[in-house]
Structure formats: C-alpha cells, structure tokens
Amino acid sequence: MTRSSILLALCLSLLLPSPALARLPGPLEAHATGKVRDLAEIRSSRVLRVLVNQSRNSSGEVQGQAIGVEYHRLRSFEQYLNGHARDGQEISLKIIPKAKDQLLGALQRGEGDLVAPGELLEAQPGNAVSSSDPIVSNVPLLLIGIKGERRYTRIEQLSGKTLTLTTGSAAGDAVSQINQKLALHKLAPIKVEWVDPSLAVEDVLEMVQGGIFHLTVVEQPIAERWSKILPKLRLDRQLKISEPGEEHWFVRRDASMLRASIDRFLKTYKAPVDQDVAFLRIYRRQYQVHYPLARADRQRLEKLRPVLQKHAGEQGMDWLNLAALAFKESALQPPSRSGSGPTGLMQITPSAAQRVGVNNIQSVDSNVQAGAKYLAMIRRKFFASPKLNERERMAFVLAAYNMGPERVQGMRSEARRRGLNPNQWFFQVERIAMEQVGMGAVSYVNSVNKYYLAFDRERDSLEPPERKVASRK
C-alpha cells in the first residue's frame, strides 16, 4: 500500500461512527490536557474539582438536600482537608458531572482533580490514574428482575436472555466472560441492550419494575438502596455474576499528596446512619413509570395514532413524543374537564392553546392540535439552536411545557455560569432544576422520556408498514 493510500484510508476511518461515542449523552466538548494539580496547587486555587458520575444515585442535590451516595463522603473529605489547612487555604468542592465512561478520560485530560464514581469502575492498564484505597469492598453484581417472574439461580439459565445495561456498567465485562463460558457448553450467549444515554442506573431499575425492561445487573449496594423505593424489584442474590469488586476514588498518578490525603481520610470515615433519609423522602413521593403497552393501553394508542401522527407531522415532530406526553398526562384517557385548568389528552390549558390559535380544546383532535402546536412554538422560539441534539431538544421542550420556557432558559444560564453544559438537559441543566424547584419537573421530563423510549423500542409494531413515520430522535 502506498503512503497516499494509507493516508486516505486513515482519513476515511476517522469519518466512521464510533459505537462508544454514539451513546454519549450530549454534545461533546473539546478540552485541552491540563497540568496535574496536586494538593499544594489545589489549596492555592482553593477549589477541588471533583468529577462525579452523573447518575442521581451517586451525585445529586435536591433543594439543598444531598441524595447522592458520594455527596456525604465528598463533603466530609472537604471538611477533613479544611481541618488540616493553613489560614487562607480552605478549599471548596466544584462538582463536575460526567457520564461514567467519560470520567477517567476527563481526569487524564486535567478537567478535574478527583473522580468519585459511586459505582464499580476500573482503570485500564496504561491510564495515567491512581486508585485510592477501597471505599467499599466485596461488592457483588446482582441480577435484578421483577417479583412474580422467574428467579435465576444458575448462569446457564441466562442463555439467550437479554440484559439491559447503562453505558459504562461494570456488568459489561462480566457478561462477556459469562458468554465465553456459555459458548464452551454450546449455549446461546446473553444479549445486551445498551440503553439510551439519557437513562441512568436508577432509571433502568424503575423501568424494570415497570415491566419495560426485563432484566438488568447492578452493584448490590445500588440494588438494595433503590429496592426501598421500587418495592417490586427482585434481587437474585444466589446467582453469581462475577467475583465481588471494590469501589475506589481516582486521582492523576502524579497527584501523590492528594491520594495520600484521601487514603488517610478513608481510614477514619464512617457513613452517617441517616444519609439516605432525604433520598427516601424525596423519591418515595415521585411518580413511577409503568408499562405503557399493555393490551388496553396499546388499543387506546392504536385508536389515537391517526390524530397523533397527523398533528405531529404538521409540526415536524415524532408522533411517539406526542404519544409519550399524552400517556404521562392522561394515560391516553382524556378526562372531560373544562374551565381554566389543564384539559384533555394533552392536559393543555386554554390560555396556552389560545397562544397558538386554538380556542376550543374539548375535542381530542383540537386538544392534540393545541398541544402539538404549543410544543412546536416552544421549540421554535426557545430551543431551535443547532447546538442541541434532538433528544436534548425535546427534553428542554418538555421541561418548558411543564415549567414555562422562560424559567428553563434561566436554568440554562445558571448552568452555563456554573460550568455545566447548558445544551444538555439530562444530568446537567436538570441539576439546576433539582436545586431550584425540586424533583417534580425533573421526574416529569424523565417519565415522558421513558415512555418515549418504551414506545420507540416497539416502533415497528406501532406503525403500519404502509405509513412508517421517520424517527426524529
């Protein structure tokens, strides 16, 4: 092969899509590799930059109340460092949420000083990172299903089954090893369904309870924590997925003083016995999704499909987004309601409908028309930027439908001010919403998104072959 042909092949290869990048939760940002900051530089700057797993299980704060398992530990570490600081060298934490599979890369590029994943995470050989002493030892992976369905006790029983996993899940490598063993016995491999990047581990668990997904695998502490919120989950403790692992924090390899401080802190740290009080109180009040395609629901959706497709098509949107919103708002059973409050299938207010030129919203057709036009107006006036990908754009539109577009734009500005990604709702701008208005609005967007993904998985059966509607994800 000539030099020119090699260069041509290399250039073409760079244009090919990357499977890993296809699942990233928002626009990628370019970052230059930064200088390694050890404890002295961190104290001088008075800021410790902490890269956290964006999952609400590991990081997250709701109106000043910590719900992430790492928040208590990180705040205690902050106090530990400041208890050993000279005058004027007290530090504060800057929390930087990232997708789990981006954490170590961001650390190596110098975007943060410390990684606190709150889940099992292994540094690959060759990474310029160093792990702390174990934070939690003997952490097994558990198979999670729903109570009342088949319980699994042997690996062979999983042959041919599908596991739903989040990007970066520690179960990915474990499943690969299991499949090698199954192949030796000429058994069908376990299939893996990698979920949309808008879903965190807690979202997958909720969707398992709701019957949308059938099986997943998560760390035992995560399973036990969320089973208090999601009581229909079944934990198959007898099934050994892999050898138990250890949870760690991570720093750059050259940050030896920071690592030494972490290890000294961990020797004495005890998690507060009440650390889950706020978590339990907040999440027990939240709406939980259920299977939206049970027989009666599917029949209602089929009946409504023509009107949903008509008005979605007129506004240039995916009809399943309308279907998901309608399912969340009215379970596809519009109550007969008049007056000034939310009305009908889309639960739109008369005033919002009048803003888009629809005066009567009592019929299903006019109600859907008003909802679709109002969503399109929000999208056009506030979220038309090409910097938004379509899943994030729809999330912002839904948040605005629920809270008002001006309020959401204010949250984006605050996110930008704090160094969060203003073009990403999931796990970024939603953090501002959690702080300012609580979990209600976040849960609303998440629920509609989950219903959309549930419908999208079965798009082929929901759309007649003669009238396929293009997905606009």
Rounded CA gap, 307 and 445, in Å? Answer: 23
- Tell me: the pLDDT tens digits for 424-454? 999 999 999 999 999 999 999 999 999 999 9
Query: What six digits make up the tokens of 309?
Result: 């497709």
Query: What six digits make up the tokens of 101?
Result: 């599979």
What domains sit in the chain, N to C, each tagged with a CATH number? 26-136+247-283 (3.40.190.10), 141-243 (3.40.190.10), 295-467 (1.10.530.10)
pLDDT score recorded for residue 32 = 47
Confidence of residue 35 (pLDDT cuts 50, 70, 90): confident
For strands 191-194 and 162-165, give the pairing.
parallel
Report percent pLDDT > 70 for the chain.
90
pLDDT score recorded for residue 339 = 57
Pick 303 or 67 by higher pLDDT.
303
Q: Please give the average per-residue pLDDT across 257-262, as a whole number.
A: 97
Confidence of residue 335 (pLDDT cuts 50, 70, 90): confident
- Tell me: the pLDDT tens digits for 160-195? 999 999 999 999 999 999 999 999 999 999 999 999
Q: Please give the average per-residue pLDDT across 29-58, as a whole number.
A: 83
From the centroid of its chain, how far is CA 340?
35
pLDDT at 344 over 80: yes
SS3 at position 48 = strand
Q: Please give the average per-residue pLDDT across 21-41, as a whole number.
A: 59
> Do 139 and 245 meet the contact criterion of CB atoms below 8 Å apart?
yes
Pick 120 or 470 by higher pLDDT.
120
Confidence of residue 33 (pLDDT cuts 50, 70, 90): low
pLDDT score recorded for residue 341 = 81
- Tell me: the pLDDT tens digits for 80-114? 999 988 777 789 999 999 999 999 999 999 999 99
Q: Is the CA virtual torsion 422, 427, 430, 435 positive or negative?
A: negative
- Tell me: the pLDDT tens digits for 379-407? 999 999 999 999 999 999 999 999 999 99
What Rg value do the Cα atoms of the chain yield, rounded?
A: 24
Residues forming a β-bridge with 219:
141
